[in-house]
Structure 1
Amino acid sequence: MPRRIALAALALILPVAALAHDYALKDLHIDHPWSRSTAPGAPSGAAYLVLDNRGDSADTLVGASSPRAGRVEIHRHEHDGGVMRMRRVDGGVTVEPGKTVRFEPGGYHLMLMRLKAPLKAGERFPLTLRFARAGTVDVEVAVDDGKGQPAAPAHHGH
């Protein structure tokens, strides 16, 4: 009987563990890098994640790269005269000590430019994040449509 209970508990835990993925680089914690799928032929997509600085010094995400894209840029949506616009962020995104910065639809995101193939739900792809102080870390981005994430914004004009 205890073996059956242990197996049942394991069956409940494994699907949750497969969805959750996080990374650490020195004092930085990177939580659940994810993306939405893209239509065939779409030139760009976006990746999202959460950066948590658990240290005593600020650090800045200064860039990213992926073999799935010709270029990765840091972008942000902002209101400009009552219109929501997407702008490239020059100089990176600083995460102050003890603070969290969310890359999410409608805010900061990593723009995947010149996609080499469509992003498909259920797959994962590599992404390298580059920080000013901590260095680089390789993460895996889950393309996870339908996980309760808000609808991805349209990315026009890139």
Structure 2
Amino acid sequence: MRKFILALLATLALALPAAAHEQKHGDLLLHHAWARATPAGAKAGAAYVRIENHGDNADTLTGAAAGIAAMVEIHRMSDENGTMVMAPAGPIEIPAHGTVELKPHGLHIMFMGLKQPLKEGDTFPVTLTFAKAGPVELQVVVEAIGGTGSHDGDQDDEGHDEGNGEGEEHSH
């Protein structure tokens, strides 16, 4: 019996990290919310997440909030005449049966006026607001400063670090 309990606990311990990186809310499935660590004194940071819409209707990401910063917005990086420019993205449509990926050099959650540095290994809550699904609270995991968000194998490599710099939208 003791061996069974130990085996069960070991199995649960392995399953929990993967489950912690995936959250279902209505028709939306949010994968691996993560941020890069920031150096001491940094006033800005960013977080990333993959959002899948398994429903028959589009939804729209309308905003974000977090207690770690004075202001939180959804931003978009774009190439304007050879220069990377960052600006507020406005509402982001999550197409029916589609995916939008917030990732480095594209769409991202921007934290301005950080109240403290983002430290590797820490977690913090972020609330994303959707037009139909409403508010969804995520736990963001802080990775190393040079992190890519692809550890633990909980994301595939499709579309990572490729594309037009505006995030990735995929239809299923």
What does residue 113 of structure 2 align with?
Answer: 114
Tell me the alpha carbon deviations over residues 20-42 of structure 1, each in whole angstroms, 9 at most, x when there is no partner: 52112210111110001111111
Q: Where does 1:79-98 land on structure 2 (aligned, <5 Å)?
A: 79-90=79-90, 92-98=91-97
Q: Counterpart of 2:140 in structure 1: which amino acid?
A: V
Unpaired segments ≥5 residues, structure 2: 150-172
What does residue 148 of structure 2 align with?
Answer: 149
Q: Is the 2:35–2:143 Cα contact (8 Å) retained in structure 1? A: yes
Q: Distance in 2 between matches of 1:123 and 1:82?
A: 35
What does residue 155 of structure 1 align with?
Answer: none
Percent identical: 41
What SS does structure 1 have at the residue aligned with 2:126? strand
Tell me the alpha carbon deviations over residues 44-65 of structure 1, each in whole angstroms, 9 at most, x when there is no partner: 1000000000000000100000
Q: Distance in 2 between matches of 1:80 and 1:146?
A: 26
The answer to whether 1:131 aligns with 2:133 is: no
Q: How many residues align structurally? A: 148
What SS does structure 1 have at the residue aligned with 2:17? helix
What does residue 22 of structure 2 align with?
Answer: 22
The two structures have a TM-score, normalised by structure 1, of 0.83
Q: Counterpart of 1:77 in structure 2: which amino acid?
A: M
The answer to whether 1:60 aligns with 2:68 is: no
Q: Counterpart of 1:124 in structure 2: which amino acid?
A: T
Q: Is the 2:61–2:92 Cα contact (8 Å) retained in structure 1? A: yes
User: How far has the Cα of 1:79 moved from its partner?
Assistant: 1.1
Q: Distance in 2 between matches of 1:16 and 1:123?
A: 19
Q: Distance in 1 between matches of 2:145 and 2:9?
A: 24
Q: Is the 2:37–2:145 Cα contact (8 Å) retained in structure 1? A: no
Q: Distance in 2 between matches of 1:72 and 1:148?
A: 21
What SS does structure 2 have at the residue aligned with 1:117? coil
The two structures have a TM-score, normalised by structure 2, of 0.77
Taking a change above 3 Å as real, the CA distance of residues 107 and 117 of structure 1, as seen in their structure-2 partners, is same
Q: Is the 2:22–2:31 Cα contact (8 Å) retained in structure 1? A: yes
What SS does structure 2 have at the residue aligned with 1:94? strand
Tell me the alpha carbon deviations over residues 53-111 of structure 1, each in whole angstroms, 9 at most, x when there is no partner: 00000001000000101111111111111222112112x11000011000000110000
- Aligned-CA RMSD value: 2.3
What SS does structure 2 have at the residue aligned with 1:141? strand
What does residue 3 of structure 1 align with?
Answer: 3
